Structure 1
Amino acid sequence: MSGFFSFSIGATALATGAGELAVTPKMVVVFGIIVVALVLFVTEWLPIDVTAILVMVLLMVLGADGVVNFTEISTTEGTSGFSNSATITVLAMLILSSGISQTGVVQIIGRKMSAFAGDDLDKQLLATIGVSGPISGFINNTPVVAILVPVISDIAHKGKTSPSKLLIPLSYASMFGGMLTLIGTSTNILASDVSARLLDRPFSMFEFTQLGLIVLVVGSIYLMTIGHRLLPERVPVDEDYVQEYAIEEYLTDVVVDDDSPLIGSTVDDAIDHVAFDADILQVVRDGEEFIEPIGQKTLQAGDMLRLRADRPTVQQLVDRETLTLAGNPETADELEPEAVAERTLVEVVVPRGSFLVGESLESSTFRQRYDATVLAFRSRGETVRTNMDERRIRVGDTLLVQAAPDSIDRLSRNDDFIVAHEPDEPDYRTEKIPHAAAIMAGVVGVVAMPWGIVGSTLSGVTGIGAFTALSALSLPILVTALAGVVAMVATGVLRPTEIYDAVEWDVIFLLAGIIPLGMALEQTGGADLLGSLVASTGAYLPALGVLWVFYIATGLITGVISNNASVVLMLPIAVETASQIDANPFAFVLAVTFAASTAFLTPVGYQTNLFVYGPGGYKFSDFVRVGAPLQLLLSVVTTLGIAFFWGL
């Protein structure tokens, strides 16, 4: 059977001098699993974490302890992703980032930023990039963007600027900042673990800070000078939510006639939602306006009802329920009761880990849980206004929600949502800022401290040889991060129950599921084979050119699948390629890491892009328009920087 499935790759052997390589049945099986994973990642037929678990199951079923030993993965190796140091470190860092956000320190900096920016676009961009970039080096960049989306949206609205001009720069700047330190992004932590396994060389805390600073400066200059000019104003400054989502034609006022069968019914029971795609948003009675919660309000003759429905549905309701048409609200002001000073219309972004992901509005009972009505929502650039109840919600979808102010406050305090507007009276633990800052400084400082030098210096100065013991002290980020979690709870920065809500469990399951895939690629020889194919370009390109090819290839792959998945797949191939062309394998590891952590081309390649997709009103092409030149620019800057600092 082996002879039937294998074939010789003569061209690769000639180009690399590595000898004749053969495709074995085990390679074919692993490549098949990779193809299945890629298809599922791109199509989102299954959530990405479920896809990762499926990959893990397939590897074990077809592995050493399974039906046939095609993947070389034992049950222990298949589940090793859960105990992997990268997985646990990412889990701890997510909790630490949540603790920082609970103190409100990032939001406070954001308010200072708002006062500085005013209505000057250049200042707004400088403030956006200047805050999100550096902070993302020390707090995981994903929660940084989640925290800053409402801050930046408010800056845009107050400064008479389109949010479209600021939100993509926010996401991109957080990616730049994520490359300042080991803990800036989960991708760095995962890449460090893979590098330790393949090369016995994990990343230090500030391993690539010098190159990260260059990327931050170059990328920021691009966004300040060229990038924002390429961004259209998808959300016009003068338009409100009703006009922005173009729902004027889906909002209608009707009056309950004296002989209407709706009289005596509650709002919840008034409309047959199976037969009609319609909602009652407001009830106006004797000049008083009522919004959610109105489900149990009994309708009376003369009540004016504000409906969300298309014109044919409204006409059917008018004919059937004896209602009289009374007009159409055309602005958000007409939807928000005059008696209520606070907002009743907000945009809500659905992040990864939200209970809404994979659910529909109906199955999630969203309206009943939060006394809130969804008027429309954006999904992957499409605005959905009808048949919303059955539509599956995806990560990054942005819901236009109408609710009472207290319901909006509840939404803003829930980690299942990112409300694109700061609450007027936020509940932050500002008194815990010193504790949180000290803990994060300890987490980073203990790992970064050159204990060997300190021990030797103290021993020489004091003459006490016991200080040489410091030379042996080398705590990994895994240990300090977990210690930081304990400290956060002990000092009251986080409550014990909050640490579970802080973890993005889909990211943890994604890591646990795809780590064994990288191991299978190595153990079956698949990485060697692909490395040989890529190494064949060495016959035509110098080592720097092959390094650039890897950067570009990783960037393209990350644009359609998870950044963490692209690292796991590309790093073994990169190391093998480097060895076959006699190049520095660590340089190739860094190229893959930087490319995967700076995915600008699509909104689905990096989670922070999804966070800004809806609130910015962007189309898919906007990310390509702004991201492609940036990706090309940084491909040159990064590969030259790697060659300069680490050599080839």
Structure 2
Amino acid sequence: MTLEMWLVLGILATAVFLFITEWLRVDVVAVGVVLALMLTGVLTTGEALAGFSSTAVLTIAALFVVGGAVLHTGLAGAIGRRILTVAGNSEWRLVLVIMGAVALLSGFMSDTGTVAVLLPAIISLSINTKISPAKLLIPLAFGSLLGGAMTLIGTPPNIIVSDVLRDAGYEPFFFFSYTPMGLILAAIGIAFMLFVGRRLLPDRTVIVEKQIVATPKELLDTYRLPENLLRLRVRRGSELIGRTVIESALRDQFDVTVLKIMRPPSLWELAESGSTDADPKDTPIIPDEDVTIQRNDVLVVQGEDDAVNQAAIRWHLAVQPAKPKDSKALLSREVGVAELLLPPRSSLLGKTLADVRFGTTYRLTVLAISRPGVGDKLDLKTTQLRFGDTLVVQGRWRDISHLRDFRRDFVVMGEPESEIDRPPRSKARWAAAIMVGMLVLMVGEFVPLVTAALVAALLVVLTGCLTMDRAYDAIDWKSIVLISGMLPMSTALQKVGLVDVIANGFVETLGERGPLAVMIGLFLLTSLFTQVLSNTATTVVIAPIALVAAETLGIQPQGFLMAVAIAASMAFASPVASPTNTLVMGAGNYRFSDYVKVGVPLILLMLVAVALLLPLIFPF
């Protein structure tokens, strides 16, 4: 072992440790890997930064945009709901239809996006059919993972192993190269869940009973939000004049939430407009952190009468009754309300809203906290948040949508913003046409994969399916940086000779028993790592090892690399192995052991299927 080998091993081990402990964000760790490889001289600057220009990275980013258009236009939701209408009331039939539907959708779009779209519909189905959501949601998550293994674009590891083949001079995988094995594995997985897995799942309903996915208007009624609205007029001489809403501390000191500022026109504005209206219209202003309060502003607030009166006395404000139109301060085209569920690994657990400075950090106001089994109103200042708590938040729709970027901390229930900010139905037809066109280009190999994906991404913006801002939001930048940062680690492993060392170790240890034993070893190693690491990071490290192992044995490498890609999708045994598993954990009230009981037997069953059938599809 050379010094460079030890350096690379040390960097890799540190990265794996940080991925598992999550002391740092995975994208931060990936950037650290790039810098460490440059600073130690293992890679040149060009080699270390090559991942950011990789065709695999560009393809995945473009596919995020196309998938975002499919989600935002409502196309995915419409397809999913149409499929679920045939599910009926039988648990057996529901599991069959749910897994089949989500596997089909996940073959062509993001696993996480597919689950997020179908999750509310399935929770509603479970409530209507009196079937525990715990019986349906792990099948939903597992079905999405199985579907990702069916096409080239189903999941990033599939694209990565195809690029490894191409870069090594072999024929890469085509769009449907994964489909024969993927369909078999999906069928086996669905059969397992129907006859064995669903019997191992718990029958818990406590959290979900508090978790019916409601529309924004229903939330207003459920939490009786319009009832505590009042107006506060800013009098002459008030110390609030010139302060921002945050500086007023109305929320922190008096538990009074400013929902909107109604600003009367100035005399200059009236003179310019020539208005003779005896009751000129006020201008509604959303109370952003940079908006300062002016004299005669009317603050539309929510709070208990006593608290509002105390705030009025402190700041020399006039209390006025709310007008009927003030309820629009809670729900309009710009602002709205939504429910957020706190998953088991949220960084907010054990903290109060004040501890995390929720309003400042996320630019949203928490109106209520709901806790399963607790009927009393929880204090917004002092309540320490727990797993399963639901926060009702109010603010701009765009800020609510941005919470989807914090997947570890929140699950945004349903698609609340779609009630207000949904493109016309014609845009869904455009999104469908563009996606079909992209698939035709990919399947027919008329242009390279990255070209087809980039053309489709551009078209969804040009046709208005997504604005450019929403296109940027649709890209999971954490995943993009993770892939870009870990690809140079693959280069470093090969450059210093560690890939050869590890591959030779595999061959020496298992090679005597034949290529099948080596493939089984690669499958087990990949599936073990993917339970605790990103499937993408796992694939980036192990795919080159599989390639060299095949070359050392003197066999075609396609079977080994396909085994690695499939194993990377077998993230069944841990709630943190995949975002889809985490997404359903809170809604199904699952425990870690539930994933182990169902996931480990399923992984072993998939291993048997791969060992028996993959060599027939890709002979050694």
TM normalised by structure 2 equals 0.74
Amino acid corresponding to residue 214 of structure 1 in structure 2: I
Alpha-carbon displacement from aligned partner over 1:259-307 (angstroms, at most 9, x marks no partner): xxxxxxx99968978xxxx9899xxxxxxxxxxx999556545999xxx
Q: Does 1:369 align with 2:378?
A: no
Superposition RMSD on alpha carbons, in Å? 4.0
Alpha-carbon displacement from aligned partner over 1:4-36 (angstroms, at most 9, x marks no partner): xxxxxxxxxxxxxxxxxxx11111111111100
- 1:592 is matched with 564
Shift of 1:180: 1.4
Kindly tell me: are residues 30 and 233 of structure 1, through their superposed partners in 2, closer, same or farther at Cα, counting changes over 3 Å?
A: same
Q: Does 1:214 align with 2:214?
A: no
- 2:422 is matched with 428
- 2:497 is matched with 525
Distance 2:453 2:211 in 1: 42
Q: Does 1:192 align with 2:162?
A: yes
Q: 2:467 aligns with which of 478, 495, 515?
A: 495
Secondary structure of the structure 1 residue equivalent to 2:92: helix
Shift of 1:413: 8.5
Q: Does 1:59 align with 2:64?
A: no
Secondary structure of the structure 2 residue equivalent to 1:182: coil
- 2:485 is matched with 513
Q: 1:32 aligns with which of 10, 14, 18?
A: 10
- 1:445 is matched with 440
Secondary structure of the structure 2 residue equivalent to 1:401: strand
Shift of 1:642: 1.6
Q: 1:108 aligns with which of 56, 74, 78?
A: 78
Amino acid corresponding to residue 483 of structure 2 in structure 1: L
Kindly tell me: are residues 297 and 606 of structure 1, through their superposed partners in 2, closer, same or farther at Cα, counting changes over 3 Å?
A: closer
Stretch deviating more after TM superposition (495-504 or 532-541) = 532-541
Secondary structure of the structure 2 residue equivalent to 1:365: helix
Stretch deviating more after TM superposition (599-608 or 169-178) = 599-608
| Contact 1:81–1:515 (Cα < 8 Å) also in 2 | yes
Matches within 5 A, 1:35-184: 35-63=13-41, 71=42, 73-184=43-154
Distance 1:544 1:388 in 2: 59
- 2:225 is matched with none
Distance 1:522 1:439 in 2: 39
Distance 2:426 2:302 in 1: 42
Shift of 1:221: 1.0
Distance 2:145 2:454 in 1: 24
- 1:223 is matched with 193
Amino acid corresponding to residue 543 of structure 2 in structure 1: L
Shift of 1:547: 0.8
Q: Which runs of 5+ in 1 are unaligned?
A: 1-22, 64-70, 243-265, 282-292, 305-339, 379-383, 451-473
Distance 1:388 1:567 in 2: 44
Distance 1:498 1:46 in 2: 27
Amino acid corresponding to residue 465 of structure 2 in structure 1: V
Shift of 1:574: 1.3
Stretch deviating more after TM superposition (96-105 or 108-117) = 108-117
Distance 1:505 1:197 in 2: 25
Distance 2:441 2:494 in 1: 33
- 2:596 is matched with 624
Kindly tell me: are residues 411 and 497 of structure 1, through their superposed partners in 2, closer, same or farther at Cα, counting changes over 3 Å?
A: closer
Matched residues, number: 514
| Contact 2:75–2:431 (Cα < 8 Å) also in 1 | no
- 2:412 is matched with 419
Kindly tell me: are residues 28 and 498 of structure 1, through their superposed partners in 2, closer, same or farther at Cα, counting changes over 3 Å?
A: same
Distance 1:26 1:493 in 2: 49
Secondary structure of the structure 2 residue equivalent to 1:432: helix
Distance 1:47 1:614 in 2: 21
| Contact 1:349–1:420 (Cα < 8 Å) also in 2 | no
| Contact 1:534–1:577 (Cα < 8 Å) also in 2 | yes
Distance 2:207 2:92 in 1: 16
Kindly tell me: are residues 297 and 411 of structure 1, through their superposed partners in 2, closer, same or farther at Cα, counting changes over 3 Å?
A: closer
Kindly tell me: are residues 93 and 36 of structure 1, through their superposed partners in 2, closer, same or farther at Cα, counting changes over 3 Å?
A: same
Secondary structure of the structure 2 residue equivalent to 1:372: strand
Distance 1:377 1:520 in 2: 49
The share of aligned pairs that are identical, in percent, is: 33
Q: Does 1:402 align with 2:398?
A: no
Alpha-carbon displacement from aligned partner over 1:567-586 (angstroms, at most 9, x marks no partner): 01111111222222333322
| Contact 1:27–1:524 (Cα < 8 Å) also in 2 | yes
Amino acid corresponding to residue 94 of structure 1 in structure 2: F
Q: Which runs of 5+ in 2 are unaligned?
A: 213-244, 258-286, 288-298, 310-330, 373-377
Q: Does 1:604 align with 2:576?
A: yes
| Contact 2:117–2:414 (Cα < 8 Å) also in 1 | no
- 2:458 is matched with 486
Shift of 1:558: 0.8
Kindly tell me: are residues 297 and 209 of structure 1, through their superposed partners in 2, closer, same or farther at Cα, counting changes over 3 Å?
A: closer
Shift of 1:422: 5.1
Matches within 5 A, 1:198-277: 198-236=168-206, 239-240=209-210
Shift of 1:185: 1.0
Shift of 1:351: 13
Alpha-carbon displacement from aligned partner over 1:26-68 (angstroms, at most 9, x marks no partner): 11111111100000000001000000000010001112xxxxx
Kindly tell me: are residues 100 and 520 of structure 1, through their superposed partners in 2, closer, same or farther at Cα, counting changes over 3 Å?
A: same
Q: 2:516 aligns with which of 518, 537, 544?
A: 544
Kindly tell me: are residues 111 and 269 of structure 1, through their superposed partners in 2, closer, same or farther at Cα, counting changes over 3 Å?
A: same
Distance 1:215 1:191 in 2: 19
Q: Does 1:583 align with 2:560?
A: no
Shift of 1:367: 8.8
Alpha-carbon displacement from aligned partner over 1:73-92 (angstroms, at most 9, x marks no partner): 11001001110001100000
Alpha-carbon displacement from aligned partner over 1:130-151 (angstroms, at most 9, x marks no partner): 2111111111222212222222
Secondary structure of the structure 2 residue equivalent to 1:116: coil
- 1:258 is matched with none
Secondary structure of the structure 2 residue equivalent to 1:402: strand
Kindly tell me: are residues 388 and 636 of structure 1, through their superposed partners in 2, closer, same or farther at Cα, counting changes over 3 Å?
A: farther
Kindly tell me: are residues 499 and 344 of structure 1, through their superposed partners in 2, closer, same or farther at Cα, counting changes over 3 Å?
A: closer
Stretch deviating more after TM superposition (423-432 or 38-47) = 423-432
Alpha-carbon displacement from aligned partner over 1:518-541 (angstroms, at most 9, x marks no partner): 000001000111111111223552
Shift of 1:386: 11
Secondary structure of the structure 2 residue equivalent to 1:647: coil
Amino acid corresponding to residue 348 of structure 1 in structure 2: L
Distance 1:431 1:552 in 2: 47
Distance 2:544 2:573 in 1: 24
